[in-house]
Structure 1
Amino acid sequence: MAKGKDVRVTVILECTNCARVGISRYITQKNQHNMPSQLELRKFCPFCYKYTIHGEIKK
């Protein structure tokens, strides 16, 4: 059994190109040991109508 801190954490990704803050958001999980830095993924933004970089934000 795993003891101590949970390895996988829930993160929120937000579009970096949208002028409106808090519009296009995705929820995913990441492994803290393998990826200690900020997560950035290319996801579809329905308000920009294209694939853009979505970066991790604080909760």
Structure 2
Amino acid sequence: MAKGNRVTIGLKCSYCGDINYSTVKNAKTTTEKLELKKFCPRLNKHTIHKEVKLKS
């Protein structure tokens, strides 16, 4: 199994700007940026979280 296509990304809240989640995705098959509705602990509600690059 080749793991060369997997990249670690962060999910940043579009309202408060915090990076609350990190996940991995296959960069070859999923070329567009992820946009998920996740829980933001700072705002205490579900908000849109967008993909950002994590510093390595």
What TM bracket, shorter-length normalisation?
Answer: 0.7 to 0.9
Please, what is the CA RMSD of the aligned residues? Answer: 1.8
**Runs (4+) of structure 1 moved beyond 3 Å?**
none
State the aligned residue count: 54
Structure 1: 5+ residue runs without aligned partners? none
1:55 CA displacement: 0.5
Give the greater-gyration-radius structure (CA).
1
TM-score when scaled to structure 2? 0.78
Structure 2 residue runs of 5 or longer lacking an equivalent are: none
Percent identity between the two aligned chains: 48
Which structure shows the higher strand fraction?
Answer: 2
TM-score, structure 1 normalization: 0.75
Q: Deviations over 1:29-48 (max 9, x none)?
A: 11112211111111100111
